[in-house]
Structure 1
Amino acid sequence: MRIAVLTLTATALAGCAVGPDYQKPVLAMPAMWSDQKPSRPTKPSRLSKWWQRLRDPQLNALIDEAVAGNLDVATAKARIREARASYRQTAGTLFPSADGSASATRNKTAATTSAGTDSDPYSQYQTGFDASWELDLFGANRRNVEAARYGLDASEEELRSTLLTLIGDVASYYAEACGYQARIGLARRAAASQMQTAALTRAMAQAGMSTAADVAKAKGQASSTEADVPTLEASYAEAMHRLSVLTGRPPAALTDRLKRSAPIPTPRLPIPTGIPANILLARPDVRMAERQYAQYTARIGQAEAARYPSVSLTGDIDTSALKLGDLGKSSSIGWSFGPTLSVPVFNAGQLKAAVEVARAQRDQYFIAYRSSVLTALEEVENAIVSLAQERVRNTKLASSAKSYADAARLERALYKSGETSLLDVLDAERSLYSAEDDLLQSRVAIATDYIALNKALGGGWDGTIDIAKPEIVDVKTGPRLASKPVTQ
C-alpha cells in the first residue's frame, strides 16, 4: 500500500519543472529601410530562387551542382543526422529501461577438514529481469529533451545558412569569372588597336612625318596593355578553381566547360526588399541564433533540477535451478520492487555554480542572437546603398566610355592627317581603355551587389534536400570473426 501511495504521489509530481520557460524575445526593429519613403507602399521581398533573375542557365546549373556536391553542405547534413539521433537518444531517458540476464555455472565444493568429503560437481542456471524508471520529478530529463529539440532546430537552420552562403559564393565567383573574361577580351582588343597605332606611327616615321621616339612610345603603350592579360588570366583561373571546389570537384574540373566567354550577369532591378522585421523570419543564421538561445535557456532548468531530490522506481525478478529445464517450474524465484530516493546533501556549491554557468551561457547566446539581428540589418543596408550607388556610377562610366571612344576616333583621324601629335592619340587610347575597363568592373559590381543584397535578405535554396542519405554506407556490421587491422 505504501509503495502504491508513493507511486501515485510521484506521478502527481511528474508535471513539475524548474528553471525558466523559454519565450521568444521581442526585439525593436526599424519600420523601414533607409531607401524607403513612408508614403510608398512596401512590396514583400521575393527571395525564392533569386539567382534565376540573373537569366543565366549556366549559373543555374552550377548552383544545382553545388547544392548536390558541396562538402560544407554534406557536413551540415551529417550534423542534422547527428542532432536527430541525439534527440531520440535523449528522449529515451523519459521512459523505463529494462535489461535481461542469464548465467550458467559449474560448481564444486571442496572439504575443509580431514573428516569432510568433497561434494559432487553440480550445475546452476539463473535468469533475471531488471527494470528501472526515473520519475523526473523536477523535469531534468524533460529539460534535456527540450534542449535537444532546440538543438535539432538549430542544426536545420545551420544547413539553410550554409546553403545561403554557398549559393551566394557560387553566383559571386561566376560573375567575377565572367567579368575577368570580358576584361581579358577588352585588353586584347585595346592592345591590338594600340599596335595598329604603333604600325601607323612606324609608317609615318619612314615617311619622315614622325620620329623613332614616337614609334617606341606607341609600342610601349601597346605592350603595357598586353601586360594586363596575364594578371587577368590568373584571377580568372582562381575564380574558376574556386567554383570547381564549391561544387565538390577538383580545382580544374570546370575549366574546359566554362572556357567560352559568357556575358556578365545582369540582374532585374529594382529588388523588393520588404520590411526589416522580415529578417527575423528569413535569415537562417538569425533563426539559428534564436534556437541556440532557446536551447541554452532549457539547459538552465536541467542544471537547476540537479539541485533537487530524484526518485527512481527499480524492480527485478530472477529464478535459479540446478537443471536448465527446471527454470520455469522447479526453481527458486525471487523478486524485489521499490523506489530509490537520492537527495543532494553537500557538494561544496558545485550544483549552484553549475546553474550560474548555465545562466551565463544563456546570456551569451541571447547576446549572439541580438548581434546576428543587428549584423543582418547592417548587411542589408550596406547592400542597398552599394547597389544604388553603383548603378549611378555605372551610368556615369558608360557616358565616360562613350565620350572617350569618340575622342580616340577623332584623335586617330587627326593624327593621320598630321593635325595632332602622337601623345594626344596615346592619351586618348589609354583613357578609352581605362574607362571601358572601369565600366566592365562596374557591371560586375552591380551583379555582386545584387547577390549580396539577396544574401543579406535571407534568400537561399528552397528546394528539397536529402538529409537521410549518409556519406558512408557501412557493410558487414553484424557479428563476425574479427579481421586483422590493416597496417602500413
Structure 2
Amino acid sequence: MNHRVLTPLTVLFLVSLIACTPTRVGDPVALNSPAQWQHAANADTAQSAETTDLKTWWQGFNDPLLNELIDQALAANHDIKIATARVREANAMVTVAEAALYPSLDFSLAGGREKRIDRIVGVPSGQGIKLITPTADAVSGGLAARWEIDVFGGRHLEAEAAAAQAQGSREDLHAAQVGLLAQVATNYLELRGVQQRTGILQSNIALQRERLRTVQVFHKAGLANEADVARQQTLLQGTEAMLPQLTNAGQKLIHRLGVLLGEPPESLEQRLAVAGPLPKQAPVMPNLLPADLLAQRPDLRLAQTEVSAAAASLGSARADLYPKLVLSASGGFGALAVGGFPSLADSVYALGSGLSAPIFNAGRIRAHIAAADARLDQVAANYEKIFLLALEDVENAFAAHRSATDSLGQLTQAEASAEKAYRLVDALYQRGAGNYLTVLDAQRSKLAISDERAKAETAVGVAMVSLYRAFGGGWTAAESPGDIDSVSTP
C-alpha cells in the first residue's frame, strides 16, 4: 500500500479512538437510603410540600418584614457574592480545559537588522578582493498550528473534571444560599421571641415592684416582718437582673442580621428594635423521602460532583501512561536583504507529526495515578459521610420540632390554667375573701408560664426553619449558570 495513503488512514484511525476512553473510571459510590423517616409526623396528620415549595419556604410564615430581610440578604450578603465569583472562576476554567481539545493557531512576525562576524562577503576593490561584514535586514512571519490528538481521552477527562468542579461551585453557591436563608429566618424568629419575652419580663418586674410595695405597707402595719420584705427585694432584684441579658441577646441578634444582610451591624437598630410579634403562621411540613435528599440538598450534590471530578482526574492520570500524538503545520514568508545585494524572499511551510511515549520517569506517572486514586477514595467516603449527616440533620429537625410542638401544647394549656387561677383568686379578693398578695402571686405564676410558652413558640419556629434547611430548601435547579453570571456581575 502507498505510504502516502497509509499515513492519513492511520491518523484517522487514531482520531476515531477519541470516542473510546479506555482510562475512564466509573462512579464507585452506591448509597443505601432508608425507606422512611423515623421521627417524621404521621402520614395522616402531616401536610405535604412539593419540592417547588421548598424554594420560598420562608413565605409560609406570612411575615412581610422577614420576606424583605431575606430578599435583601440574597442581594447583598458577602458569602453569596464570594460563592458567585467562584462560580464565574470555575466556568472560566472549564473553557481553559476544553481549549486543550482543539488545535492552537499562532501568528508570528519578526524583523530586524543585524551585522554578524560569521557573515563575510568578498567585494572587489582597487587592491583586489576586500572582505567586509555587511548589514543584513531580515523579515519573517507566518502561522503555526499544533494539535495534540486526544487518542486515549486524557484531555477529555480533564475537561470533564473541570466541568464537574464548575458544577460543584454552583452547588456550593446553592448551599451558601440555603444556609443564609436559615440563618436570617432563625435570627429573626429568635429576635421576635426575645422581644416577646422582654415584654413579659417587664410586666413581671412591674408586678414584683407592686408586690414589694404591698409587703412594705404590710410591714409598717405589722402584718409582715423584715424577712418578708427582704425576700421580696431579692426576688425583684433577681428578676430585674434578667432584663439586661435579654436586651443584650436582642442587640446581638440585630447585629448578626445586619452582617447577614451585608450592612454594618448597627444598621438595623432602628428598624428592628421595635418589638414585633412572633409569626403565628408557619410553613407546611415538608414530606419528602430520604432518597429525595440526594437531589435536593446542595451539599450532597456538591459531594457527588467531587466524586465525578476525582474519577475523571484519575482517568486523566492513567492516560499519561499511553502515547501522545501531535500534528503540526506552519507556513509563512521570509525576506533577507544584505546591503548592496538583491533582496531574497520566499514562502516557507512545514508539515509534521510526532509521537511520544513515556519510558522512564522515576515513577512519577504511577505516583500521580496512586494519588488520584486515593483522592477518589477520599471524596467517595466523604460523599457517604455527608449523606449520613444529612439524614441526621433531618431526623434531629423532626425530633426537635415534635418536642417543641409538644412543649408548646402543654405550656399553652398551663398558661390557660394559670390565667383561670388568677381570675379565681382575683374574684375572691374583689369580694373580700382573699389576700392581695395571693393575687399578685397568681399573676406572677401566669407570667412565668407565659415566658416559657414564648420560648417554646420560638423553638417551634426555629425547628421548622431547621427542617427546611435540612431538606435543602431555598434554591431551585431551574437556576442556570447564565442567570448566576447576569445577577452577580457588576
1:20 has 2:21 as partner: no
Equivalent residue number for residue 29 of structure 1: 33
Equivalent residue number for residue 76 of structure 2: 69
Q: 1:291 aligns with which of 284, 305, 309?
A: 305
Measure how far apart 1:410 and its partner are: 5.7
Equivalent residue number for residue 439 of structure 1: 453
Measure how far apart 1:362 and its partner are: 0.9
Q: Which amino acid aligns with 2:37?
A: W
For these two proteins, the number of residue pairs brought into alignment is 468
Equivalent residue number for residue 192 of structure 2: 178
Residue deviations 1:419-440 (CA, integer Å, cap 9, x gap): 6696x67765654443222111
> In 2, Cα distance between the equivalents of 1:109 and 1:246?
70
> In 2, Cα distance between the equivalents of 1:468 and 1:91?
20
Residue deviations 1:69-116 (CA, integer Å, cap 9, x gap): 001100110011011100011110010001111111112345599974
> In 1, Cα distance between the equivalents of 2:151 and 2:200?
75
Taking a change above 3 Å as real, the CA distance of residues 214 and 44 of structure 1, as seen in their structure-2 partners, is: closer
Measure how far apart 1:396 and its partner are: 1.2
Equivalent residue number for residue 128 of structure 1: 142
Q: Which runs of 5+ in 1 are unaligned?
A: 474-488
> In 1, Cα distance between the equivalents of 2:59 and 2:372?
45
1:382 has 2:386 as partner: no
1:105 has 2:112 as partner: yes
State how 1:199-278 maps to structure 2 within 5 Å.
199-268=213-282, 271-278=285-292
Counterpart contact for 1:383–1:453, Cα < 8 Å:
yes
Q: SS of the counterpart of 2:331?
A: strand
Q: SS of the counterpart of 2:100?
A: helix
Measure how far apart 1:383 and its partner are: 0.9
CA RMSD of aligned residues (A): 2.9
State how 1:82-481 maps to structure 2 within 5 Å.
82-110=89-117, 116-268=130-282, 271-322=285-336, 331-407=345-421, 428=442, 431-462=445-476, 466-468=483-485
> In 2, Cα distance between the equivalents of 1:447 and 1:38?
21
Q: SS of the counterpart of 2:140?
A: strand
Q: SS of the counterpart of 1:345?
A: coil
> In 2, Cα distance between the equivalents of 1:115 and 1:470?
78
TM-score normalised by structure 2 residue count: 0.87
Counterpart contact for 2:48–2:284, Cα < 8 Å:
no
Measure how far apart 1:333 and its partner are: 2.4
> In 1, Cα distance between the equivalents of 2:189 and 2:69?
12
Equivalent residue number for residue 486 of structure 1: none
Taking a change above 3 Å as real, the CA distance of residues 357 and 194 of structure 1, as seen in their structure-2 partners, is: same
Q: Which amino acid aligns with 2:135?
A: P
> In 2, Cα distance between the equivalents of 1:197 and 1:342?
95
Moved more, 67-76 or 261-270: 261-270
Q: SS of the counterpart of 1:120?
A: coil
> In 2, Cα distance between the equivalents of 1:115 and 1:472?
73
Q: Which amino acid aligns with 1:403?
A: S
- Percent identity between the two aligned chains: 32
Q: Which amino acid aligns with 1:16?
A: C
Moved more, 454-463 or 424-433: 424-433
Q: SS of the counterpart of 2:275?
A: coil
Taking a change above 3 Å as real, the CA distance of residues 237 and 277 of structure 1, as seen in their structure-2 partners, is: same
Taking a change above 3 Å as real, the CA distance of residues 322 and 342 of structure 1, as seen in their structure-2 partners, is: same
Measure how far apart 1:322 and its partner are: 3.3
TM-score normalised by structure 1 residue count: 0.88
Moved more, 212-221 or 285-294: 212-221
Taking a change above 3 Å as real, the CA distance of residues 74 and 33 of structure 1, as seen in their structure-2 partners, is: same
Moved more, 243-252 or 29-38: 29-38
Counterpart contact for 1:290–1:369, Cα < 8 Å:
yes
Counterpart contact for 1:411–1:425, Cα < 8 Å:
yes
Q: SS of the counterpart of 2:355?
A: strand
> In 2, Cα distance between the equivalents of 1:381 and 1:15?
45
Residue deviations 1:438-471 (CA, integer Å, cap 9, x gap): 1111011000000001111111134868532597
Measure how far apart 1:137 and its partner are: 0.8
Q: Which runs of 5+ in 2 are unaligned?
A: 123-127
> In 2, Cα distance between the equivalents of 1:233 and 1:429?
23
> In 2, Cα distance between the equivalents of 1:109 and 1:386?
87
Taking a change above 3 Å as real, the CA distance of residues 42 and 29 of structure 1, as seen in their structure-2 partners, is: farther
Taking a change above 3 Å as real, the CA distance of residues 40 and 471 of structure 1, as seen in their structure-2 partners, is: closer
Taking a change above 3 Å as real, the CA distance of residues 120 and 48 of structure 1, as seen in their structure-2 partners, is: closer
Q: Which amino acid aligns with 1:30?
A: P
Residue deviations 1:319-373 (CA, integer Å, cap 9, x gap): 211369xxxx962222211111111001222212211211111111111111111
Moved more, 137-146 or 409-418: 409-418
1:8 has 2:6 as partner: no
Q: SS of the counterpart of 2:214?
A: helix
Equivalent residue number for residue 125 of structure 2: none
Measure how far apart 1:131 and its partner are: 0.9
Taking a change above 3 Å as real, the CA distance of residues 109 and 296 of structure 1, as seen in their structure-2 partners, is: closer
> In 1, Cα distance between the equivalents of 2:44 and 2:184?
37
Residue deviations 1:208-244 (CA, integer Å, cap 9, x gap): 3223433333233222212111000000000010000
Equivalent residue number for residue 57 of structure 2: 50
Q: SS of the counterpart of 2:81?
A: helix
